[in-house]
Amino acid sequence: MVIVNITFQVADAVLVVAALGFLGFGLTYPASDWGSQLASGVTYISGDYWWLIYPVGGCIVLTVLALNLLADALRDAVGRRAG
């Protein structure tokens, strides 16, 4: 059951790192993270390029969803059922 907990924690860590990067507390200039890319795309939301934020946001959502589904499948395969 430890591996299930780890996969849930990795999904949470992805969200935390993206949120910190969005707020400006992420990685510095030479490196990049999804949060800082999302923050730089928000500046274009009032113009015609609002669609630039969709790929990064979609990557975050799909990664977290995939990790949560993996953890759920592992829990079903390894875990014991009560009853």
**pTM recorded for the entire structure:** 0.71
Backbone angles phi, psi at 47, to 5 degrees: -95, -155
More confident site: 48 or 28: 28
CA distance 56 to 33: 10
Contact by Cβ (8 Å): 56, 34? yes
Secondary structure of 12-44 in HEC code, one letter for each residue? HHHHHHHHHHHHCCCCCCCCCCHHHHHHHHHCC
Contact by Cβ (8 Å): 51, 44? no
pLDDT 10s digits, 41-69: 777 777 766 666 677 778 888 888 998 89
